[in-house]
A and B are shown apart, each in its own frame.
Chain A
Amino acid sequence: MSEQTSNSQTDKIQSALRAVLSSFWFEFKQNRGAVYGLVFISILAFVAIFADLVAPYSPIEQYRDFLKLPPIWSEGGNWSFIFGTDALGRDQLSRIIHGARYSFYIGFIVIFFCLTIGIFLGLVSAFNKGFVDTFIMRGMDIILAFPSLLMALALVAILGPSLENAMIAIAVVYIPHFVRLTRAQALSELGKDYVSSSKTMGASSMRLMFVNVLPNCMPPLIVQATMSFSSAILDAAALGFLGMGAQPPTPEWGTMLADSRSYIVSDPWLMGIPGLFILLTVLSINLIGDGLRDGLDPKMKSSK
C-alpha cells in the first residue's frame, strides 16, 4: 500500500516535471542564439569529459621536431597537428581540449560556492532584519567597492598563485551579487500571504526559508549563475594570463595565452586559438543565459 502511494507519488512528480520542462523548452527554443549556444557548449562539454580519448596527444608532451608549427589552414601546416604546436612543440588541439576541462571545472566550482554561500547569506539576511542584515549587506558592499579583478588579484597574492586559489578568489568576488539577488527576491516573497499562512501553521524559519521561499527565488538565480559561469571562466583566464592562476604546464586557456605572449607578432595563431575558444565559450554561455531567462522569468514570457 505504502509502496503504491510512493510509486504514484514519483509518477506525479515526473509528470509535473515533464510539463514544466516542456513549457520551458518551448520558450527556450524560441531564442535561436540560445540553441546555438547550447549546441556549442554541449559539444565542448562532451569533448572535455572524454578529453583523454578525444585528444590526439598528451597536452604536455613536447615534440621537439615541430616547434611553432602553424595550423593546417595556413602555409606549412601539418595534418598531424591540426591547430599547430606551441613554442615547446606541444599539440595545440590537445591543449585546447584539455583546457576545456579546466574551464568547466572553474565555472562549476565557482558557481557552486557562489550559489551555496550566496543563497544562504541572502536568505539569512532577508529573514533577520536588523543587525544581522546590516552586517551581512554592508560586508557585501565592501567587497563590491573593490574593482573585481583587483580584488581577486589581491586575494591570490595572499593565498599564493594556483588554480584552486584563483577559483576561491573569483568566488569571493562574485558572492555579493548572489547575496543581493537572493535577499531582494526573498524579501518580495516574504510579503506574500502564502508565507504568512505557513507561519500560522507554525513552520520553522528553516522551513520557511528553504521549502517555501527559496524555490520561488530560483529563476533569477539560475540566470545569474549562468552569466557568472562565463565571467568566472573569463576572470580565471585573466588571472592565468597574469601568472596568478593555473601554473604551467597546465593547459589552462589563460595560461596558454600568457605562454605565447612573446610570439604575438611572429606567430599570432598561438594566442588567437585559445582566445577564440574563450570568446566562443563565454558567448555561448551568455546566450544560454538569455534563453534561460526567457524560459524561467515569468515577466519575460511571451503573451499567450
Chain B
Amino acid sequence: MTKKSILKINNLSVSLPERAERPFAVEDMSFELFPGEILCIVGESGSGKSMSSNAVMGLLPKPFVNISQGEILFDGKDLAQISDKEMQKIRGSQIGMIFQEPMTALNPVMKVAKQLEEVFNSHKFKLSRKQVKAKIIEMLDDVGLPDPEIIGSSYPFELSGGQRQRVMIAMALALEPDILIADEPTTALDVTTQAQILKLIADLQTKRDMGVIFITHDFGVVAEIADRVIVMQNGKIVEQGQAEQILNTPQHPYTRKLISTVPHLGAQKKPVVTTDVVVTVKGLNKIYGEAKTGLFRKPGRVVHASKDVSFEIRQGETLGLVGESGSGKSTVGRCMIRLHSSNSGEVLFKGEDILKLSNREMMPMRKHIQMIFQDPYASLNPRRKIGDIITEGPTIHGVPKAKSWKRAEELLEIVGLDKIALKRYPHEFSGGQRQRIGIARALAMDPKLLIADEAVSALDVSVQAQVLKLLDEIKTEMHLAMLFVTHDLRVAAQVCDKIAVMKLGEIVEYGNTYDVFHNPQHAYTKSLLDAVPGKDWKVPDLSKLA
C-alpha cells in the first residue's frame, strides 16, 4: 500500500475514571487508515473498540473519560488537542459516523428531509433552499431508498429499520467526508437487511474512495467486508493485518480463540433421531389485534403471528425455529408454554392437548415445559437472590426448601458456577453467567421440553460458544427435547437437528438441518442463507495450525 494514510493514530490511550474495572479503555493504540479501504475493528463487548472511534470523533463522555496520551493525526491536525469548536467543524463534514440503533440516532419528531437539511445548515453552506432540496433527494436516492420524496417527508417511525439505517448513512455522507466511522451499524438489523446495508457501505466506499472504520463483533461481517482487520482485547490491539491473513491464519492466541468459537455455517450430517415424540404442534394459530367494527372504531391492524404452524420434537432432539424479526417464531414458543393465548390449534404433550387445559390442570404440566429467555438482564428478578430464583419453581410445586436448595447447588455445578452464587443477587453476575443461572432455573423443574428463545443472541461470541456447548451437553445428558428459537443461521446450523424456517407466521420450510442448509427448497430460505455475512469464508480448523 503506497497511498498516503488519511488518519494516523499514534500510541493513543484513553483513561477511565478511578473506580472502573481497568485504568484504560484504550491503551497504547496505533494504526493508520488509508483512503479506499475498509478497516474492521473487532473485539468482544468491553474491548474498547467503540471508545477508540469515539476518541477520533471527539465524542468521549468527558470529564469521566479522557485521552491521556497519544495523537490522532488527521488532515495535518492532532484531533486529540484541538478545541471542541474546531472538532465540531470536522465532525460530519470530514468524518462521518453511523450508529448501531438508527431509531435513537434520528430525531423522532422531525421529518427525515428536515433532519438532512439540518446537516447542511449547521455547517453553513451557501446553498439556496432549492439546491438543498435537490441535494437531499439525490442523497436519499444514492443510498438506495425508493421514492426519495416520500421518504423525505416521513417521520423516522414510519420507516423500517433498514430504511432508517439508510437515512443515517445518507446523513453521515451528506457532506462527503473522507472518513466514515460505522459503529456496529448492522447489529440491530435482520440478516437480509444487513446484507443490503453492508453492500451499500462497500459500494459507496468504492465510489467515493473513502476510508471506512467498521466496528463489529461479528466475524461473519468481517469476512464479508473488511480489507484490513484490527483485533482488540481489553483495550489493546492484539493483532492487526490483512483480512485474509487474520481470518485464515491468525497468529495471536486470542484471535484464534475468537475465530474458533465462530459457529460453522456448513451443517454436519447428523443421525436422524427416532426416539419418542415429546411434543406435537398441530395447526397453531395466533392472531394479534382484533378486527373491530362499530361506531368510532377503525378496523384494527391484524397480525397473523402464527399461521397453521405444525411440527414435532422428539426426545433428545433440537428443533431450530429460524426467521427474521416479526416472523412469529417467538410467538410460537410462547404459545406452546401458554404465556400467550392462541386462537386455534393443538399442542400435544404426552398425548394431551395442553392448550385445552384449565389453569389448574395446567399446573402439573408446567413442570415439564420450561423456557430460557433472551435478555439475561431482564429475566432474573433483580431483588431476589439466585438461590430463591432457582428454587422458586420447585417451591411452588411443593418441594421442601432444603431439598430444592440442595438441588440448586447441584444445578449450579452443572452449569459451571460456584454454589456460593446462591447467596448473591443477579447484578453481581455477567451476561453469560446470568444466562447460565437462567438455564439452571429451567432445569430445576426437571423439564422434558426446553424452549430457548434467542437464548444466546445477547452474548459475546466466545460466551455464546460456551453456553451453546452447555445446552448441548444438558440436552444429551438429560434426554431433553429442545425448541431453539433463533435468528442466527450459524448458531442454528451448529446446534439443531431439524430446522423450521418461518416467514410472516408460516413455516415455509421444515426438514433436517443438513438438507435445509445444503439443498434449500423455498426461495425465502435461499435468500436467508444467501444473506448470511461471510458465507464464503470457511472457518479454518485452527487445531491444525497450532
Contact = CB atoms under 8 A, between A and B. Distances in A.
A binds B: yes
If over half of A's interface residues share one DSSP class (helix, strand or loop), that class is named, otherwise mixed; here it is: helix
A201 to B, nearest CB: 4
A202 B19 contact: no
A202 B397 CA distance: 8
Name, among B362, B370, B381, the residue most crowded by chain A CB atoms within 10 Å (CB to CB).
Answer: B381
B373 A303 contact: no
Given A5-B402, A16-B385, A193-B373, A200 B337 contact: yes
Interface string A189-228: 0001110111111111001000010011000000000000
Given A16-B425, A197-B373, A201-B445, A216 B396 contact: no
Nearest to B378: A192
A303 B339 contact: no
B125 interface: no
A194 B402 contact: no
Interface string A159-199: 00000000000000000000000000000000011101111
Interface core residue of A16, A201, A204, A215 (most chain B CB under 10 Å): A201
B425 A197 contact: no
A304 interface: yes
A215 B389 CA distance: 14
A2 interface: yes
B392 A304 contact: no
Given A12-B423, A194-B381, A207-B396, A200 B402 contact: no
Given A5-B402, A201-B393, A203-B392, A304 B19 contact: yes
A5 B406 CA distance: 11
Contact of A197 (B64, B369, B379, B405): B379
Nearest to B401: A5
Interface string B369-396: 1110111001111111100010011001
B380 A196 contact: no
A30 B423 CA distance: 29
Contacts of A198: 381, 392
B261 to A, nearest CB: 26
Given A193-B378, A197-B379, A202 B339 contact: no
B133 interface: no
B329 interface: no
Nearest to B18: A304
B338 to A, nearest CB: 8
A201 B384 CA distance: 16
Contacts of A199: 339
Given A2-B402, A16-B423, A193 B379 contact: yes
A194 B379 contact: yes
Given A200-B339, A202-B362, A202-B363, A194 B378 contact: yes
A200 B375 CA distance: 16
B373 to A, nearest CB: 4
Contact of B371 (A192, A197, A212): A197
A192 B64 contact: no
Interface in A275-304: 303-304
Contact of B374 (A2, A193, A202): A193
A216 B366 contact: no
Contacts, number: 67
Interface in A24-72: none
A203 B363 CA distance: 9
Contacts of B382: 216
B285 to A, nearest CB: 21
A195 to B, nearest CB: 8
A23 B285 CA distance: 50
A196 B392 contact: no
B498 interface: no
Contacts of A212: 381, 384
B60 to A, nearest CB: 14
B64 A203 contact: no
A108 B278 CA distance: 57
Contacts of B425: 16
Contacts of B217: none
B61 to A, nearest CB: 9
A200 B370 contact: yes
B113 to A, nearest CB: 35
Contacts of B17: 304
Interface string B219-263: 000000000000000000000000000000000000000000000
Contacts of B19: 304
B487 interface: no
Contact of A200 (B371, B383, B384, B385): B371
Nearest to A205: B359
B366 A200 contact: yes
Nearest to A214: B383
Nearest to A207: B396
Interface string B333-365: 010010100000000000000000000001100
Contacts of A204: 396
Interface string A1-27: 010010000001000100000000000
B286 interface: no
Contacts of B385: 12, 16
B490 interface: no
B441 interface: yes
Interface in B430-485: 438, 441, 445
Q: Report which residue of B19, B367, B396 has the largest number of chain A beta carbons within 10 angstroms of its beta carbon.
A: B396
Contacts of A196: 334, 339, 371, 373, 379
A16 B423 CA distance: 8
A199 B362 CA distance: 11
Contact of A303 (B64, B396, B423): B64
Contacts of A12: 385, 423
Contact of A203 (B334, B380, B396, B438): B396
A243 B374 CA distance: 60
B237 to A, nearest CB: 27
Interface string B397-420: 100001001000000000000000
Given A192-B378, A192-B379, 7 more contacts: A193-B379, A194-B380, A197-B371, A198-B392, A202-B362, A202-B367, A212-B381
Interface of B: 17, 19, 64, 334, 337, 339, 362-363, 366-367, 369-371, 373-375, 378-385, 389, 392-393, 396-397, 402, 405, 423, 425, 438, 441, 445
7 contacts: A193-B373, A194-B381, A196-B339, A202-B362, A202-B366, A212-B381, A216-B381
